[in-house]
Structure formats: C-alpha cells, structure tokens
Amino acid sequence: MAEQMSQFEGRVAVITGGARGFGRAFGRALAERGAHTVLTDIDEAEVDRAAAEIREAGGQASAYRLDVADDAAWDGVLADVVARHGGVDILINNAGLHSLEYGVDWARLPVPKLRRLFDVNVMGVMIGTLTARPHMQGRTGANIVNISSSAAFNGMGAYGATKAAVRALTLAWARELGPEGIRVNALAPGLHVTDTIRAEFSPQMIEGHRHHQFLDLEGSEQDIVDAMLYLSSERARFVTGETIRVTAGYASSL
C-alpha cells in the first residue's frame, strides 16, 4: 500500500460517469491511495453523494455535473479543476450508455437513440481527451484510461460498434499523445456482476455469458478497479495504445 500511495499521492484524477458503478469505484480506489478525485456525471445529486462518501472516508474528492457530449460543459469543468489543482494527471473516460436497452440490433434503435449513444460513448471520449490534453502536457506519468467492452470484439450491435470505436480511438490517441508523454490505454470489461447487472440480467443470462468464458469465475467490480490502478500507475509506464480485456476469456471465445 505504501508503494501505491507514493504512486497516486497528490495526483489529480478526472473520472466521468463517477456517480455509480465502475466510475464511483474508481474514484474511491484512487482517493484511498492519495489522489484528488474529480467525479463527473450527468446525475448531479448522485455524483455529489459519491464525492461526499469519499470525503467522509478521509479522501479528497470534488463533484461536477457533466454531460460528456457537451464540449462547452467540459471546458467549464476543466477550467475550474485546473484553477483549483493546477492540472490533470489521470483522465478516465468511463461514462457511457449501456445496458440491455442498447445491446440490441441496429434496427431496434431509433435514430435519435443511436445519435445519443454515439454522442456519449464515442464523442464523449473524444471531447474529454481533447479538452484535458493541454492540462496533462508536461505532467510526469500523465495518462488516460478509456472504458471499452468485450462487446467491442464480437460485433454486438450499435453498442458494440461504439466500444470498438473506443478501441480505435485509444490507439489513435496513444500515437498522437505519446510525444507529449501522455499514455492512453483502455479496459474492456466482460460481464462483471455488479448490483446493476443483477437488476437487469436474469440468472439464465448471466449463466449463458459465463458459459463462454475460459475461466469458470464470476467477474466483480474489483477486477476492473485493479486493472485501472495498474494502467494508471507507473508500473504501466511502458504500456500505451493497448486495450486490456478483463473478461475471463469471454472476448476471445466467440
């Protein structure tokens, strides 16, 4: 833990989709290791609660309402973060539309929903990276972690296409930002059985997914948190442009 504390102490981490799920867990884990976590989410009340939870546990956290598809909103949030903290060390582009509602064939999603899906899942990553970039330059160990999905590897409808785009953006940004000393990587989670998944997926659906894994294990939120901590740390200083699959083999089995 002392080594981890030295890795993140005093670092500024901006996390989108920080009100719940992976984003909330990322904020908690980084704050426990000494980072100041900036949680953003379109759900203002819930992201405020997530940041308050971190502060009550002794960590440093602030919260902002942010629609990741809104470039003007990004400008405002990061201007305030930089004024308060001097820059950004870690950006986690976690916000995304998912769930059973979007994991369907293209024809089942009306155009307005498709547009919103791509605005959040793809444009949100692009705008966030573009906005944070000048505030990360020159900061030792600066890095970006994008959240893709196992669906990016199996052509799973519109949602899978957006997450495949995140993989492509990760590689493109790694090439472009490398000369500026900024690493860019992605995580592709499989089915990690969180409270949200249990609420949406039937036991039969979870079991069917597990049948395609190489390992007969139930994925947890902590599996993704641990992978994020690795990619965000100096232990991954030689890793960029990669999408790490955390799927127990699922993303390779179809």
What is the reported pLDDT for 20?
Answer: 93
Catalytic residues: 159
- Of 101, 53, 62, 56, the closest CA to residue 83 belongs to 62
Cα–Cα dist 88/69, whole Å: 19
> What domains sit in the chain, N to C, each tagged with a CATH number?
2-252 (3.40.50.720)
Helices (H) and strands (E) in the chain, counts: 10, 7
Three-state secondary structure call for residue 122: helix
φ and ψ of 15, to 5 deg: -125, 120
Three-state secondary structure call for residue 140: coil
Q: Where does residue 242 rank: exposed (0-12), middle (13-18), buried (19+ CB within 10 A)?
A: middle
Cα–Cα dist 132/126, whole Å: 10
What is the reported pLDDT for 51?
Answer: 98
Q: 101 CB contacts (<8 Å, ≥6 apart)?
A: none
Burial 80-115 (b: 16+ CB within 10 A, else e): ebeeebebbbbbbbbbbbbeeebeeeeeebeeeeee
In this structure, are residues 47 and 61 in contact, taking their beta carbons and an 8 Å threshold?
no
- Taking the chain (254 residues) in runs of 10, the rounded mean pLDDT of each run is 66 97 96 98 98 98 98 98 98 90 85 96 98 97 96 86 96 98 95 67 66 75 96 97 88 56
Is the backbone of residue 34 left (phi > 0), alpha (psi -120 to 50) or beta? left
Three-state secondary structure call for residue 13: strand
